[in-house]
Chain A
Amino acid sequence: MWSSLQRWWGVILILVAVSATVWLGATQQLVLYIHPRYVVFTVVMAALALVMGVLSLAIRPANTEEAVAPRGWSRVVGGVALLLSGAVALSLVLVPPTTLSSATASQRDIVGSTVGSDSQNVDEVENADDELIASFTVVDWSSLLRQTSDPSFYSNKTADVVGFITASEDDPANIFYLSRFTVTCCAVDAQPTGLAVYAPDWANDFEVDAWVEITGSFEVNPSSRSDLPLVLVPETMTGVERPSEPYLY
């Protein structure tokens, strides 16, 4: 029993993992975990492993290895490994796919983040047209904010941005961060970026982690408890569905 479970366990695990991968690929949710450039490669290799796994179940090659019944500690270690890897396999099938949450965003230094620090340049944006400015993301705006905090630069520019809410530590009642993760390889390296939004009593209408779309302009920070020079003051703020590509690249 033990030895045949050990012999088949890897095939079961790999079948679970590649089935989950193929399903994510089919429902276009692989981008929750990896950069789009790896999607095709990942799905092709998963499909190959799926075929190999089912074939090895069908053909059941004769065992060339002599079974050794584990004893003592190695039996315990083997049992724990079996349980842990089984638990991970179950989570791959049972837990609904999701993005990283604000818990990780605040743990990864949302304010000091230098992601995409050169995504927009102040001199080039100075006289940009409205269409270009409307396309700016959270990352573009925070790269500009790092370059200049001169209020006149932002006076005639309206931001229209989407992101999820991460609470601010300095002034949690009035300010939150509208945040996005930037991914260069996979969710493991997701770097958060956030725009400080000044919206008194925002917690009455929205929850942390909720996705919102905000239009508004950057103004001098009215909050006395936070030392950020500029904040985004919303004209409109509406709850939206999580975008199909929640990460920026």
Chain B
Amino acid sequence: MTTTVPASVDDHHHQHDHRPRRSRNRWLWLAFGTIGVAAIFALRAYTGELESVGVPGLTADLLTLATSVIIESLPFVVLGILLSIVVQAWLPDDLLMRYLPQSPVLRRAAISLFGIALPVCECGNVPLARGLILKGFSVPESMTFLLAAPIINPITIVTTHQAFGFDDGILVGRILGGLAIANIVGWLFSLHPQPNAILTGRFAQQCAVGSHGPRQSRTEKSLDIFMRESSVLMPAVFIGSLIAGAIQVAVPRDVLVTLGSNPLWSILAMMALAFVISVCSSVDAFFILPFASTFMPGSIVTFLVFGPIIDIKMLAIMRTTFTAKVLLQLSLVVALMSAFIGLVINYVV
């Protein structure tokens, strides 16, 4: 106690004394930032004109595929960070909590429907779910949100409807299947004796610190969240896309497609495809549309339910928040359940 109090007082003085210099520094750093971005643009404009930099065919395709995954998911990651900033820095603390039912099961059911109002796919969902934990959601509750929201979000529903209409129960199977998995997984993890133990050390520490850090203005807090989320998520997005691109170049596509007509194998093939491809849930219906004639409808539903929750890029991103053991359990449970949903549809419809 005696050591911390003087330190914080000192800190306080420190901030006051250097206000003018700090604001001068801001202009300096703004100039640095602008020059830095301009330099990136100049370099890019220069290298963009080059014929080639001597990258051979398959490596060039690997980079093209990785770039494609990054560019496709980036806007959703940014949207997710922005929504997370709104939830953490601009909404009143108890707004979301006030109207939720008391019973844990009903609470999770209500939370699994949150996604209807949030147009974020799975990569944007992780920062949002992290924000919800910091806001006081329990870990299983935010996991329910994390799993349900990418499937129940309005963009996903619209694109799935555009791609498949109401044919073969694909849209209905996707929505109901996603909700069921999210609620059941949330319930399973709520049985864990110490839910906070499933978080990574770094994030659990951040939750414990909470709002006891130095006082910040809302703008500062927003930018702080922006920095923190991007430093956690961007390396994961980059590395996940690189691995996804490499595997796509290495595994011939027709290996998966030849498995397509068998009710059981086509489900496993679809899960493998969803795992490797790593596209966002808001666009994956268009992705799978060309395969619709090759694969059975239940297998398509498996792809559409499994893909938004578990894939290479998602595992890399979720590893920022949950421990490896939890991700393994999660992958196993979700794989079994989505395979089950697919099998039911394959044999019944």
Residues of A within 8 A of B (CB): 6-11, 13-24, 27, 29-30, 32-35, 38, 41-42, 44-46, 48-50, 52-66, 68, 81-82, 84-85, 88-89, 91-104, 107-109, 112, 114-115, 117, 182, 184-189, 191, 209
Contact = CB atoms under 8 A, between A and B. Distances in A.
Nearest to A106: B252
Contacts of B75: 38, 41-42, 44-46
Interface of B: 25-27, 29-30, 32-34, 36-37, 40-41, 43-45, 47-53, 55, 57-58, 60-61, 63-72, 74-76, 78-79, 81-82, 202, 205-206, 209, 213-214, 216, 219-221, 223-224, 226-235, 238-239, 241-242, 244, 248-249, 252-254, 257, 277-279, 283-284, 286-287, 289-290, 293-294
Contact of A45 (B79, B209, B278): B79
A101 B314 CA distance: 27
B122 to A, nearest CB: 15
23 contacts: A8-B231, A9-B231, A18-B74, A19-B44, A23-B45, A35-B286, A42-B71, A42-B74, A46-B78, A49-B74, A54-B37, A56-B227, A57-B30, A58-B30, A59-B220, A62-B213, A63-B224, A91-B66, A95-B55, A103-B58, A108-B252, A109-B253, A188-B279
A10 B230 contact: yes
Contact of B226 (A52, A114, A209): A52
B30 A54 contact: yes
B230 A64 contact: no
Contacts of B223: 52, 55-56, 59, 61
Nearest to A107: B252
Nearest to A9: B231
A184 B289 contact: yes
A93 B235 contact: no
Contacts of B202: 68
Contact of A88 (B44, B50, B239, B248): B239
Given A65-B206, A185-B284, 14 more contacts: A17-B234, A19-B37, A54-B30, A55-B30, A60-B25, A60-B26, A64-B213, A84-B242, A85-B238, A96-B48, A112-B257, A186-B69, A186-B71, A187-B64
Given A19-B41, A58-B26, A185-B279, A8 B52 contact: no
A17 B81 CA distance: 15
B235 A10 contact: yes
Contacts of B29: 57-60
Given A33-B71, A65-B209, A185-B279, A11 B231 contact: yes
A64 to B, nearest CB: 3
A34 B74 contact: no
B74 A104 contact: no
Contacts of A57: 29-30, 32-33, 36
Contact of B214 (A15, A16, A64, A114): A64
Nearest to A116: B290
Contacts of B234: 9-10, 13-14, 17, 85
Contact of A10 (B26, B33, B209, B231): B231
B199 to A, nearest CB: 15
Nearest to A184: B286
A100 B58 CA distance: 9
Contacts of A115: 290
Contacts of A97: 48, 67
A10 B232 contact: yes
Given A15-B36, A33-B72, A64 B231 contact: no
Contacts of B283: 38, 185-186
A61 B221 contact: yes
Given A19-B44, A21-B74, A92 B37 contact: no
A88 B66 CA distance: 9
A108 B36 CA distance: 40
Given A19-B40, A33-B68, A55-B223, A101 B74 contact: no
B160 to A, nearest CB: 12
A107 B289 CA distance: 20
Contacts of A81: 235, 239
B312 to A, nearest CB: 12
A108 to B, nearest CB: 4
